[in-house]
Structure 1
Amino acid sequence: MSKKYKMSTAQKRIYLVDRIQGSNITYNVPILLESSGSIDVQRLRGAVQKLVERHELLRTNFIESGSHLLQVVEESIDIPVEVRVVKKEDVKRASLDFIRPFSLSEGPLMRVLVLNMLDEGTVLLFDLHHIICDGGSIPVLFEDLSVLYGGGELPKLTVEYKHYMRWQESLDLRKQELYWHNEFVDGIPALDLFTDYPRPQQKSFQGAGYSVQAGLSLKEEVRKFCLKTRTTEFSVLLSVFLLLLSKYSGQEEILVGTPVSGRNHPDAANMLGMFVNTLVIRGQLKEDMNFFQLVEIIRAKSLNALDNQAYPFEELVERLNLPRDPSRNPLFDVMFVLQNNEKSELTLDESHYQMLDVENQVSKFDLTLSIDDTEEGYNLAWEFSTDLFRADTIERMAAHYQTLLANALAQPETKLMDLEMVSAHEKNIILEDFNATSIDYPVHRTVIDLFEEQVKQTPNAIAVDFEGKTLTYKQLNDRANYVGALLREQGVQPETIVGIVSARSLEMVIGLYGILKAGGAYLPIDPELPLDRVHFMLADCRTNVILAGPESDKLIKELPDFNVLYIQEHANELATNLSPVTAPHNLAYVIFTSGSTGKPKGVLIKSIYKKETNK
C-alpha cells in the first residue's frame, strides 16, 4: 500500500522544471564505474532489490493531486538490472544510450546496467533522478550496496528523508529570510555575457563540457595567498571567477550561485535524498579596487551566506516574486562549485570500481565552473550551454581564468581594471598578427568606382541580405542610381552632407550608395536619437536634404524645415550609372562622437581615409 507525503521545496522546483520541459535528461544523475574484475549479476540483482527495500526514495514517484505536489512511496517496486556484452570501444556509446528520460509520475527513478567487456573487465552504470538523490547520496548508496552484495545485513532505517523534511519545516528561519531579502532589495542584475548565439526564448538545457588541469604550482600559490591573507581557497577562486565575468560582461555587479550540501542535521549525513541548497553570492567589483580588497569582500559575503544557508533557495525565489523568464534561471545564470577530490569508490567483494567521467550532454545554467582539488593541482570543469556558446569560446575563457588567477596572485595590489587575463602569446596574436593588414590600395579610385566594378564582375551575386530579404549587386546598383539622380536634382554635389534617418534595412544600404553616387557625403542618424542632438548634428553639417528609411516617421515629423526624400517611395531602378563627380579626396561620410566629455564632434571621413575633426 502506497503512502503520500508533501514534496520538499527542492523537489517541487525539480518537478515543475521537468513538467515544463517534458521529456528530458536535465536532472539525470548518471554514475559510471569501471573494474578490471567480473561481477556476479544474480548477487547484484539481489543486492539492488534489498537496496530498494531499504530506502523509501528508491520506491518513490511524484504526482500532482489538485493543488498539491506529492511524493508517493510504494510498498514494493522492482528495479531490473540490464546486462549487455560490449567491446571496450563501445562503452561510451552504450553509456550515452543508457541515459534517457524518467517518468516522475511512474518510476522507478533508478536504473542499473552492467556492461560486460569479457576479458577486459566490467563497467557498472547507475542512472538516478536528481529529485531522489544528490552528490552526498552516492557514498550512501555505494556503502549499502557493498554490504548487501557481500551477503551482509543492514539495520532498518529509523530516519528517512520525510523526517528531515518535517525537521526542516520546524525551523524558525525568519532572521535568515530577512538576510536574503536585504541582499536583493536593491534589485537583481542579470548577467549579460557576450554569447556566440542569440539567447533562445526557452532554455533547452542542452550543454557540453570542457576540462583543463591547472598545475600544482598554481595551486601552491593559491594556498600561500590564503595563508598570508587568512582566507579560503573558495574565496580566492570565486573572486577570480567574478572578476573574469566582470571583464567579459563589463558589469560591476554580478550574481553567482554556489551549492551547499544542505545536510545540516546529524541524521542526514548517511541519508538518501535531495538535500542540496543553493546560495547566491552578490559580487560587487569596482575598477579602482585591488585583488586584496575583492577577496576580503567575497570572504565576508561567503561567510554571511553560509551563516544563512538553511533558508531554501526555492522559498527565496518565491518570496522575491520574480517575473518568470523561460530563457533564464531565477536569480542567477552562472554557478561556481569547489570540490575536494570527493570521487566515491564502490567495492564489490574483491573488485574495486573507480568512477569515470560521463560525457556532459546537459547544462542547467549558462555556465558552471566546477573546480576539483586534486593531488595534481586543480581540475577545472566548465559546463556550458551549447545554445549560447561554442566550445572554442569556453576553451579561451578557461585559459583567461588561469591567466587572471596567476596575475591576481602575483599582483594583488594592482587595480582590478589593470589585471590582465590575456596571455603574452595571445596578446602578440592580437597586436601583431591581427593587425598585419597592410595591403596595396587603389588610392586614386573612389568607393563608388570599386563598387561599380564589382557590379560588372558579379551582377547576380547577393550583395545585401537582411532578415530574409536580398538584393543582388545589379539590383542595389540600379536602385542607388535612381536615388542618386534624385539627390542631384536637389542640388547634392561633392562636399554636400546628406542626412539619412533609417533603421537597419535594405533601404538604408540603397540610400548610402545613392548619396555617394550623387557625389555627396552621408550623415547617419539613428531614429531613436534625442531631437536636440539631431538638430545639433544637422546644423553643424549644414544639411538641407534628408533621406528617410524604415522607422523614420516619428523623427522626420519633428524636422519640417528639411527637404525629405523617402527611399521606399522611390523604388525605381536606373540601369545607367551616373557620371562620376567625386575624387578620392572628397568627403565620404560624417560620424559624430558621443559627446560624453562635452559637445559631440563630427569626424569627417574621406575616400582616401584621412580623418579630420570638425571643430
Structure 2
Amino acid sequence: MGGAGNDLAGRLERLTTAQRALLKRRLGQRASPGPYRPSATQFGIWLFEQLNPGTSTYHNPAAVRLSGPVDEDLLRAALQRVQDRHEPLRSRYPADEDGVPRAFVEPPDALRLPWRVEDVSALPDPEQEAARIVAREAVTPFRLDRGPVWRCLLVRTGPEERVLVTTLHHIVSDGGSLGVLLAELGALYPALAAGERPCPADPPQGYFALAAKDTVPPGALEHWLTILDGAPDRIDLSALAEWPGRGEPPSPPAPDGGSAPTGPARGAAVDRRWAGRELTLQVPDGTATALEDLCARHGSSLFTGLVAASAATLYRTSGQDDLVLTTPVDRRGHEGRALIGCFVNTVVLRLRVGPDDRLDTLLARAAGVVADALAHSGLPFSRLVSALPRRGGGRSPFGNVAVVHNNAPMDAVSLGGLRLSHHPLPPVEVKHDLALSWNRRRDGLTGRIEYAARFPDAAVEHLGAHLRHTVETLAAAPATRVADLPGLSEVAR
C-alpha cells in the first residue's frame, strides 16, 4: 500500500498546472449536480414541447461552411471540450412525480458528444443532397426528458469542403450562445491542431447557479400592465394576407436587394400549422454606417433605428397607429458573457406612430420605448402574458410581430487556416406572423423576414422592399414624414 501511495503521490507531483486544473475540475464534476429548477423561460419552452410533441419551433440550428483541410477528429475533440465546459449542453429535463420539469446535469466524462458525419461528396449533386440533409437535421425532434439537447453534424461535400451543423434546443441556448460556441471552437481547434492540450478556465459559476439569481424586481408586473393598458395585442396584417396578386409567382428581386423567398427544403418535416418562409434583404455598408451615426447622434443604438424603421413600415402596411412589437433581450450580463444557456427574455415595445411624424421624431420616441423596456426586462414574459386578458388565438400569445437585432459572431471567428462562411438554413417553423431580424456584418446590414406561409410571397416582397426603403430614407433623409413614405404597393421590388 505504501509503495502504491508513494507512486500516486509522485505522479501527482509531476502533473503540469493545466493537468492539475483538469483533474480538479473532473473530480469536482464526478457527481451529477442538481436537480435544478428551470428558469421561467425554460419552463415555458418545456411546456410548449409537451403540448406540441415533435415540434422544431424552438430549435436553434446554425450551419457553417468550412473550406480547407479539416481534421475531423480534432474538430470533434474541440466540440467535446465545449460540451464538457457548459452545463446546459449536458442537461436533460424529465418531469417529477408532480409533472414539473427538473434539470439534471450529467458529468462531462459520462456524456459523449452527439456527433455524426455524412459523406455526400461522391454523389452527382453533393450540394443539393447536403441541403436536404441539413434541412432534415434542423427539424429532427429532441427528447428533452432523455437528452441530448444538442447535436453536431458534419457533411462532407468535397475534398476540402464541409458543412458543420450545430443544432441546439432553445431550452439550453439563445442567440448569444452561438457566439460563445464559435469563440470557444475558434480557440480550441487551432490549439489542438498545434499539438497543445488546451485547458480553458472554467466559468466562475455554472449556468443554473447564475440563472437562479435572476429575480423579478418589485413592481415589474404593475409597470408592464400600466404600459400595455388598452394596447392591441396584435398588428393587423390583413393587407398582406389579402394581397391582390396572391396567386402570382414571386418576381426576382434586384441583384443587390436580397434573395427570393424560400421555404422548407425537400426532406424537412414541418408542422403545416406553423410552416414558415423567409425573405432576405441587403442594405449596403454605407447606409448602415449612416444609420449608426444618426442613432449615435440621438443617443440611441442601431437596434433603435431598426425598430423605428420597422414601425414606420408596419404603420404604412396596416394603418394602425398603436403598434405592439416584441423583441428578445439577452439577460446573461457580465457574469454570463462566457456561458452557453437560455438567458433570453421577451419584452414588449409599444410604439405610437402618426402620419405627420418625422422619421427622426419616431427614432427619438423609439429610443425612449426601448430604454424603458430594457430597464424593466426582468419580468418573465410568461408571467406578463398570464396577467393580460385573453384576446383571441394565434401563434404568439401576445404580439404577432417581432423585431430582432442579432450579432454576427462568425465575422470575427477564425478556425485555424479554414475559411468560414454562412451556409443557408431553410425556414421551418415560425413563432410569429412576422419576424424582422437584422445582422450587422462587415459588408452592411443583412435583413431576414420570417413569415407565416399564409402570406403570399409577392406581398412579403413588397413589404421587404418597403422596409429597405424606409431604412435608407431614415439614414439619408430623417426629416421625412411617415405619410410621405410610399405605400406598400408603390415600392419597386
TM-score bracket, normalised by the shorter chain, equals 0.7 to 0.9
The answer to whether 1:112 aligns with 2:178 is no
* C-alpha separation in 1, matches of 2:75 and 2:290: 46
Q: Is 1:165 equivalent to 2:211 in the alignment?
A: yes
2: CA distance between counterparts of 1:393 and 1:424? 12
**8 Å Cα contact 2:114-2:148 kept in structure 1:** no
Name the CA shift for 1:69/1:197 in 2 (closer, same or farther; >3 Å): farther
196, 199, 214: which is aligned to 2:241? 196
* Alpha-carbon separation, structure 2, partners of 1:384 and 1:407: 24
Task: Give the distance between the partners of 1:330 and 1:323, measured in 2 at CA.
Answer: 9
**1:279 aligned partner:** 347
Cross-structure match for 2:319: 250
Alpha-carbon distance between aligned partners in 1 of 2:300 and 2:180, rounded to the nearest angstrom: 32
Alignment of 1:84-483 (within 5 A): 84-87=118-121, 88-89=126-127, 90-99=129-138, 100-149=140-189, 150=192, 151-169=197-215, 173-194=217-238, 195-196=240-241, 204-223=273-292, 225-226=294-295, 229-264=298-333, 266-318=334-386, 320-323=387-390, 325-343=392-410, 347-386=414-453, 388-407=454-473, 412-413=478-479, 415-421=481-487, 426=492
Aligned residues: 419
Q: What is the SS of the residue equivalent to 2:69? A: coil
Deviation at 1:383, TM superposition (A): 0.9
- Alpha-carbon distance in structure 2 between the residues aligned to 1:152 and 1:415: 57
Partner of 1:533: none
Larger Rg: 1
Contact 2:70-2:160 within 8 A present in 1 as well: no
**Counterpart amino acid of residue 209 in structure 2:** H
Kindly state the Cα deviation for residue 78 of structure 1 after the two structures are TM-superposed. 2.6
Counterpart amino acid of residue 153 in structure 2: L
Greater length-normalized contact order (CA 8 Å, ≥ 6 residues apart): 2
Secondary structure of the corresponding residue to residue 295 of structure 2? helix
Q: State the 1:6 CA deviation.
A: 0.7
Give 2:390's aligned amino acid. P
Which residue type is aligned with residue 444 of structure 2? G
Seen in structure 2, the aligned counterparts of structure 1 residues 135 and 396 have a Cα distance that, compared at 3 Å, is same
Distance 1:342 1:44, change over 3 A: closer
Matched, 1:69 2:107: no
Residues 1:312 and 1:410: Cα distance change in structure 2 (over 3 Å): same
Q: Secondary structure at the match of 2:209?
A: helix
User: Mean alpha-carbon deviation: is it higher for 231-240 or for 124-133?
Assistant: 231-240
Deviation at 1:384, TM superposition (A): 0.8
Distance 1:396 1:148, change over 3 A: same
Secondary structure of the corresponding residue to residue 338 of structure 2: coil
Distance 1:223 1:155, change over 3 A: closer
Q: Which amino acid aligns with 2:430?
A: S
Q: In 1, Cα distance between the equivalents of 2:340 and 2:171? A: 11
Q: Structure 2: which 5+ residue stretches go unaligned? A: 1-30, 244-270
- Distance in 1 (CA, whole Å) between partners of 2:324 and 2:422 is 32
Measured in 2, the distance between the counterparts of 1:408 and 1:139 equals: 30
Matched, 1:83 2:83: no
What is the SS of the residue equivalent to 1:361? coil
Match of 1:38 among 55, 60, 69: 69
- The AA in structure 1 aligned to 2:101 is L
Report the Cα offset of residue 28 of structure 1: 1.3
Aligned to 1:5: 36
Task: Please state how far the C-alpha of 1:167 moved relative to its aligned partner.
Answer: 1.2
Letter in 1 for 2:322: E
User: Contact 1:403–1:423 (CA<8 Å) still a contact in 2?
Assistant: no
Q: Distance in 1 between matches of 2:442 and 2:487?
A: 26
Instruction: Report SS of the residue matched to 1:5.
Output: coil
| 8 Å CA contact retained: 2:411, 2:441 | no
Distance 2:289 2:487 in 1: 20
The CA deviation string for residues 500-547 of structure 1, in whole angstroms up to 9 with x for no partner, is xxxxxxxxxxxxxxxxxxxxxxxxxxxxxxxxxxxxxxxxxxxxxxxx
Contact 1:29 1:130 in 2 (8 A): yes
Alpha-carbon distance between aligned partners in 1 of 2:286 and 2:421, rounded to the nearest angstrom: 27
Q: Where does structure 1 lack aligned partners over 5 or more consecutive residues?
A: 428-615
Retained in 2: the 8 A contact 1:203–1:326? no
Q: Is the Cα contact below 8 Å between 2:287 and 2:475 reproduced in 1?
A: no
Structure 2 length-normalised TM: 0.77
Q: What is the CA–CA distance in structure 1 between the aligned matches of 2:307 and 2:186, rounded to whole Å?
A: 37
Question: Are the structure 2 counterparts of residues 69 and 256 from structure 1 closer, same or farther at C-alpha, using a change threshold of 3 Å?
Answer: same
Counterpart residue type for residue 317 of structure 1 = V
Partner letter of residue 241 of structure 2?
D
**Could you say if the C-alpha distance between residues 41 and 12 of structure 1 is closer, same or farther in structure 2, counting changes exceeding 3 Å?**
same
How far residue 395 of structure 1 moved from its aligned partner, in angstroms, is: 1.0
Instruction: Provide closer, same or farther for how the CA distance between residues 213 and 349 of structure 1 changes in structure 2, counting only shifts above 3 A.
Output: closer
For the residue of structure 1 that corresponds to 2:116, the secondary structure is strand
Give the root-mean-square deviation of aligned CA atoms. Answer: 2.8
Q: What secondary structure is seen at the aligned counterpart in 1 of 2:328?
A: strand
Q: Distance in 2 between matches of 1:398 and 1:12?
A: 34
In structure 2, the CA distance between the partners of 1:181 and 1:347, relative to structure 1 (3 Å rule), is same
Asked if 1 retains the 8 angstrom alpha-carbon contact of 2:437 and 2:447, the reply is yes
Alpha-carbon distance in structure 2 between the residues aligned to 1:232 and 1:36: 35
Letter in 2 for 1:368: A
Kindly indicate whether the alpha-carbon contact (under 8 Å) linking 1:134 and 1:274 is maintained by their aligned counterparts in 2: yes
Give the letter aligned to residue 196 of structure 1: A
Pair 1:129–1:324, CA change in 2 (3 A): farther
The one-letter amino acid paired with 2:373 is A
- What CA distance in whole angstroms lies between the structure 2 residues aligned with 1:147 and 1:230? 35
Cα distance, 1:40–1:120 mapped onto 2, change above 3 Å = closer
SS, match of residue 69 in structure 1 = coil
Deviations 1:393-441 (A, max 9, x none): 11111111223344455664454334324587759xxxxxxxxxxxxxx
Q: How far off is 1:294 after superposition?
A: 2.0
How far 1:74 moved relative to its partner?
2.7
